[in-house]
Structure 1
Amino acid sequence: MTTLAGPPLWQRIKPHLAVFDLPMLLILFLLSCAGLLVMWSAAFDFPGRFVDHFRNYMIMLGVMFVMANISPQILLRVAVPLYVVGVVLLIGVEAFGIIRKGAQRWLNVGVTVIQPSELMKIALPLMMAWYFNKYESMLKFKDFIVAGIILLIPFALILKQPDLGTGLLILSSGLFVLFFAGFPWRIIIPLTVAAVIGLVTIVVMEDKLCAPDLDWRILHEYQKNRVCTLLDPFNDPLGKGFHTIQAMIAIGSGGIIGKGYMQGTQTHLEFIPERTSDFILAVYSEEFGLIGVLLLIACYIALIFRGLSIAAAAPTAFMRLLAGAMSMIFFVYAFVNMGMVGGILPVVGVPLPFLSYGGTALLTLGVACGILMSIARQKGLVQR
């Protein structure tokens, strides 16, 4: 009896692995190695956190694989329903949400508790890309106004929770879609000038604006404190300014080449708060120094440029806008976190991409990478 041997295992697996974009996969591998390396040091007294972090990476890889296999045409069809569901859930949070640590951000849906604002990180750019794709051939200024309303609805609901960090991430993703869709420079330039003037005014009038009895009205008291702490962290070095001061000490003490792996005194003497999540860059900087940080930044730049190259070669407006927004998500995450830890931006609770501990953030980043890989396959951009 003759037995016919099937194809080797590698040949059966190869078609499934072909969905991965190899340049992007290589960059993610380097970032993941850096994340696991620094997490081992940062989580020395958090039993099980390193194992959980590794598990989160595996989940991210699985989510990325699934999203890479979903065609952009399917994403186009689900953009509107996903956005509507996200807005309804955010309204549900406002009406019935669970309050934790003074914030109303979570919703009990029976089987589990969810944070709908995380869904909007993907649903909003999907919706805006769908809208501009629909009206691409007859785009008018009123379409940018409608898109702005689409953006401001979830942003306002998230600010109400309050959740400034997530709100800024969602706002920036929508603004990038507006920019890539061709938002007029005659409006961008005046808005930029107004923002710069506002920032300079805050710096110049720090003493008056940060007076304890002054109510900023548009911001919560804790948000006002974060801005004022940024301007002068030494005003309350053992309280509101402690996080920023200790992070700056750790970064400065790392010098050019760092103190060496597992040799960070600020880390291992437990001076750095939230050292496995929001402030993990301080741990990394102390141990690997300026050279290590520059290499890390180079990886982020390579990831962003790879994403933008995929966006530039995408065949439809929907794919171009969506890929551009997904690429710039990495920039916003990295820029805000590094600025926050370095003391040039307020502390807003934004994780460092692929390094900070947190399954939700890795899940969102995995979805973004998977979407980019799916779009790359539409024009044969995947390098095998």
Structure 2
Amino acid sequence: MLAWYFDKHRSELRVVDFLIAGVLLLVPFMLIIRQPDLGTALLVLSTGFFIIYFAGLSFKLIVPVFVLGVVTISLILYYEPVLCGPDFDWVVLHEYQKHRVCTLLDPGSDPLGKGFHTIQGMIAIGSGGLYGKGYMLGTQTHLDFIPERTTDFIFAVFAEEFGLYGGVTLLLLYTLLLLRGFLITIRARTQFGRLLAGAMTMMLFMYVFVNMGMVMGILPVVGVPLPFMSYGGTALVTLGFACGLLMSISNYVPSRKSARAEE
């Protein structure tokens, strides 16, 4: 929808157009937050933001937001003992979401409870070493220490069985997929195609970044699958559609009438 909106108004983009786009993005974001599903909501928000940025949002407007984010994170780290206290209410987040953030800051505070996922994921990755323990030979995996081993924490299983070299190889394959997506974005023949291809590519990046980040303990644990690795039908179909859209944009040749309209 955002790609269509900016394509329709590409000849005269104004500040109000970016504000309208922000409202269009906030509607699904707030609805998903209400479910509640913070992880998916943030993925939708970030993908929509990338479209707004690609459409021409000034970088000068992003810098203050980035600085505010850095300051906020620094304050959370500094006041972590107070913020993570049992009686402190975060208001904007549910109690389980508060525990996820606090567990990220200090997984050892509840190693058999809230921090169990993160700690066991990191142990599995570290125990794989350089070469891994071999296919189907991961002890952390098959002794049921890793929760959600076929979905959210599939990367911990892969890293334990195939080691550092396997993990780097997987990252390289994802990098090639993303580079191909960016190449399609650059070569797209229409504004709509460029925005849509850029959004699909960045969506794939966010899935990979968030999933691997939470498994390695640098991001809070959220229910985000690893593209084309995690078990599940919905994510596989959705990501398959995204790749199909990218291939369609790559092969699309506008008619002469459409080309003149684009110019």
Q: Partner of 1:295: helix, strand, or coil? A: helix
Letter in 1 for 2:163: G
Q: 1:188-227 alignment to 2 at 5 Å?
A: 188-227=62-101
Indicate the residue corresponding to 1:361 in structure 2: 235
Indicate the residue corresponding to 1:61 in structure 2: none
Q: Partner of 1:275: helix, strand, or coil? A: coil
1:7-41 C-alpha deviation (Å, 9 max, x unpaired):
xxxxxxxxxxxxxxxxxxxxxxxxxxxxxxxxxxx
Q: Aligned equivalents of 1:203 and 1:358: distance in 2?
A: 35
Indicate the residue corresponding to 1:228 in structure 2: 102
Indicate the residue corresponding to 2:260 in structure 1: none
2:135 is equivalent to residue 261 of structure 1: yes
TM-superposed deviation, 1:219: 0.5
2:171 is equivalent to residue 297 of structure 1: yes
Q: Partner of 1:361: helix, strand, or coil? A: helix
Indicate the residue corresponding to 2:257 in structure 1: none
Q: 1:274-293 alignment to 2 at 5 Å?
A: 274-293=148-167
Indicate the residue corresponding to 1:35 in structure 2: none
Aligned equivalent of 2:144, options 242, 265, 270: 270
Aligned equivalent of 1:136, options 10, 21, 25: 10
Q: Aligned equivalents of 1:379 and 1:302: distance in 2?
A: 24
CA contact (8 A) 1:278 1:356 kept: yes
Indicate the residue corresponding to 1:311 in structure 2: 185
1:127-163 C-alpha deviation (Å, 9 max, x unpaired):
0000000000101111111100000011011101100
Counting aligned pairs with the same residue, the percent is 63
TM-superposed deviation, 1:311: 1.0
Q: 1:1-384 alignment to 2 at 5 Å?
A: 127-379=1-253
TM-superposed deviation, 1:261: 1.5
TM-superposed deviation, 1:379: 4.6
Letter in 1 for 2:135: Y
TM-superposed deviation, 1:289: 0.8
TM-superposed deviation, 1:255: 1.0
Letter in 1 for 2:120: Q
1:20-69 C-alpha deviation (Å, 9 max, x unpaired):
xxxxxxxxxxxxxxxxxxxxxxxxxxxxxxxxxxxxxxxxxxxxxxxxxx
CA contact (8 A) 1:333 1:350 kept: yes
Q: Aligned equivalents of 1:138 and 1:244: distance in 2?
A: 48
Q: Partner of 2:35: helix, strand, or coil? A: coil
CA contact (8 A) 1:314 1:379 kept: no
TM-superposed deviation, 1:185: 1.0
Which structure has the larger Rg?
Answer: 1
Q: Aligned equivalents of 2:90 and 2:239: distance in 1?
A: 34
1:77-123 C-alpha deviation (Å, 9 max, x unpaired):
xxxxxxxxxxxxxxxxxxxxxxxxxxxxxxxxxxxxxxxxxxxxxxx
CA contact (8 A) 1:230 1:345 kept: yes
TM-superposed deviation, 1:186: 1.2
Letter in 1 for 2:140: Q
Alignment length (residue pairs):
254
Between 1 and 2, higher relative CO (CA 8 Å, sep ≥ 6) is seen in 1
CA RMSD of aligned residues (A): 1.0
1:205-249 C-alpha deviation (Å, 9 max, x unpaired):
110110110100011111000000000111011111111110010
Q: Aligned equivalents of 1:293 and 1:193: distance in 2?
A: 32
Q: Partner of 1:171: helix, strand, or coil? A: helix
Q: Aligned equivalents of 2:50 and 2:178: distance in 1?
A: 13
Task: Compute the TM-score of the two structures, normalised by the length of structure 1.
Answer: 0.65
Q: Partner of 1:266: helix, strand, or coil? A: helix
Letter in 1 for 2:158: Y
Letter in 1 for 2:108: F
Letter in 2 for 1:236: D
Moved segments of 4+, more than 3 Å: none
Q: Aligned equivalents of 2:122 and 2:240: distance in 1?
A: 30
TM-superposed deviation, 1:290: 0.9
Gaps of 5+ in 1: 1-126
Letter in 2 for 1:145: L
